[in-house]
Amino acid sequence: MNNAPISWRQALLVYTQRPVITMFFLGFAAGLPLLLVFSTLSAWLRDADVSRTAIGFFGWVGITYSIKVLWAPVIDRLKLPWLTDTLGQRRSWMLLGQFGVMLGLMGMVGCDPQTQLTSLAAFAVLVAFSSATQDVAIDAFRIESAVVEYQGAMSATYIFGYRTALLVAGGGALFLADAFSWQVAYLSMIGFMLVGVLTVFVAREPERSISADTEDLEHELVEKVLHHQPQTLLERLEAWFSSALVAPFVDFFKRNGRFALMILAFISLYRLSDITMGIMANPFYLDLGFSKSEIASIVKVFGFGMTILGSFIGGLMVVRFGVYRPLLAGAIMVAATNLLFSYLASVGPDLNWLTVVISADNLSGGFAGSAFIAYLSGLTNRAYTATQYALFSSLMTLPGKFMSGFSGIVVDAYNYQTFFIYAAIAGVPAIILALKVWHADKATASISD
């Protein structure tokens, strides 16, 4: 990390850089498929009178996004015939993922939910798998396209594009389905995916370099597995497995030494507070007495703007002050906003207080998200960008998703006020670990010097 002082003007100018602007359009391409296999698809199925039980099973499609780390090593190393030579490693995989999404959406359009539910599910899985593949390639592209100081800003524009796509695939698709048909809505979404395709052709493939230390590590691993240079096809496959799948994890622990487990714990706990409370947010608003239109206008529309603002500020702060100060501030802000939700539970359906709480929650979430993505980006080795970042991004959501499963139990046994206090306390370990990883980085830097 560059320690030279950076002016506010220099920090703001980062948003005019080509790689930063590119991430808006790639974020749009990444966000568009998500709702088309989740809430938008659920609305289509329910509109077609599909049973709630069957609709619930479609939730398993989302598992694809959580296990993308399993095929991330392939995206890191395998070259696609002709495409990789023409576009490069990252853009070729992005394009393949985008074509898979469009093919899956086209297949969904041709299915009747009442008579071809299994086929519709299969095409939804294809969309999710292709979308997750695109996500892995985009994350690697982002990290390799700019230095760590720019990653917060790139995250902000990515989130802006991603959230814009959610509006298009959510509200936009529902509007088209209501005015025309679900088939027209999904066909329109295929057209919007062309934004990503065009961006792939316009974007510049980042340069990738494998350090001598990384090459030595892979050579040592192959020697330990085979005890000689690979000769047969089976031995070459074993060598590839060692280099592509084992080496990224060995590299991470070797580079971070005794701090490696603490870093992984920090990654898994940083978003624990906001993910734990997230699933109870909409039931909370409804139980408190807010109308659906009030929730839509304040929580969804106004909240969207505050998230983008928070992401923008977070990216600016990373450029201006480095990663660790915004990272710590984000952890404190995310935990503290849960206490505002607890207060709102005691106030009741007050629109002014709802606006204040949503402002704080989305602003802090966007701020913390930009800082955290910049931090994760700095942890990766450019030789294993896709694999290591896919591991980090999976790890950062799993504990929160697990804990959120108990949220209803807490609310039913006590009340919303108690639950949000519990969610705030869940953010304390992240604050402590944010301080520890900051001090660990200082200690490592002093040893290096």
Q: How far apart are CA 315 and CA 11, in angstroms?
A: 9
Tokens of 249: 């994890």
Domains and CATH numbers, the chain: 1-206 (1.20.1250.20), 217-449 (1.20.1250.20)
Instruction: Answer whether 353's CB lies under 8 Å from 347's CB.
Output: yes
The parts of the chain modelled with pLDDT lower than 50 are: 1-2
Structure tokens at 317: 């702060």
Determine contact, residues 315/153, Cβ cutoff 8 Å. Answer: yes
- Is the distance from CB of 387 to CB of 69 less than 8 angstroms? yes
Q: CB 212: neighbour CB atoms within 10 A?
A: 7
Q: List CB contacts of 449: < 8 A, sequence separation 6 or more.
A: none
pLDDT attached to residue 1: 43
What is the amino acid identity at position 203? Answer: A
* Amino acid at position 415, single letter: N
What distance in Å separates the CA atoms of residue 211 and residue 384, rounded to the nearest whole number?
11
Residue 5, pLDDT score: 64
How many CB atoms are located within 10 Å of the residue 155 CB? 28
Which secondary structure element, helix H or strand E, spans residue 246, and what is its range? none
- 282-301: burial string, b at 16+ Cβ within 10 Å, e else: eebbeebebeeeebeebbee
In angstroms, the CA 229 to CA 235 distance is: 8
Burial class (CB in 10 A: 0-12, 13-18, 19+), 106: middle
Question: Which are the contacts of 48, defined by CB distance < 8 A and separation ≥ 6?
Answer: 112, 113, 114, 182
Give the C-alpha separation, 159 to 147, whole Å.
18
The one-letter amino acid code at 402 reads F
